[in-house]
Amino acid sequence: MTRRRIEPLVWLMFSGGGVVAAVLLPVLAVLFALALPLGWVSRPDHGHLVAVLGNPLTQLVLTGVFVLLLVHSAHRFRYTLYDGLQVKLKRTTAALCYGAAALGAVAAVVIVWSIG
């Protein structure tokens, strides 16, 4: 019965994460995964980044963002395995996907709140 109660919440978080992945993740990925490493834009001062990332408002937003993205990713990949790639080990894949997301969420909280 607990599964029934938690399922709508997971779908809600999946949708929220989908919106975040579509609206916010692209700029973060382009900026930090390509533009800064490849020198398309000059690297921001370390002190400036710490000031921005160490702001409690940024930390609050980033915590929510990472948790939503992780749930979105885990939930969707779980069904990709089941429907797409025909991996029918329902319980095992669910445990692995949500387990990985939970670990990621803990790491995200620790990392985000350690800055500043």
Partner 1 sequence: MTEVRVYRRPIPTWWWVRKRTYFVFVMRELSSLFVGWLVVYLLMFLWAVGRGEDAYADFLDGADSPWVVALNVVALLFLALHVVTWFNLTPQAMDVRMGSRRVPAAAVIASQYAALVVVSAFVFWLVTR
The answer to whether the beta carbons of residues 112 and 66 sit under 8 Å apart is yes
Close Cβ partners of 113 (under 8 Å, ≥ 6 residues apart) = 59, 63
Q: How far is the CB of 88 from partner 1 (least distance, A)?
A: 10
Nearest residue to 65 via CA among 106, 99, 24: 24
Using H for helix, E for strand and C for coil, what is the string for 57-78? Answer: HHHHHHHHHHHHHHHHHHHHHH
Nearer to partner 1, 10 or 76 (CB): 76
Among 29, 60, 89, 95, binds partner 1 (CB under 8 A): 29
Each residue 35-74 as x (binds partner 1 by CB under 8 A) or -, in order, gives: -xxx--xxxx-x-xxx-xx--------x---x--xx-xxx
Binding residues vs partner 1 (CB under 8 A) = 17-19, 21-34, 36-38, 41-44, 46, 48-50, 52-53, 62, 66, 69-70, 72-77, 79-80, 83-86, 100, 104, 107-108, 111-112, 114-115
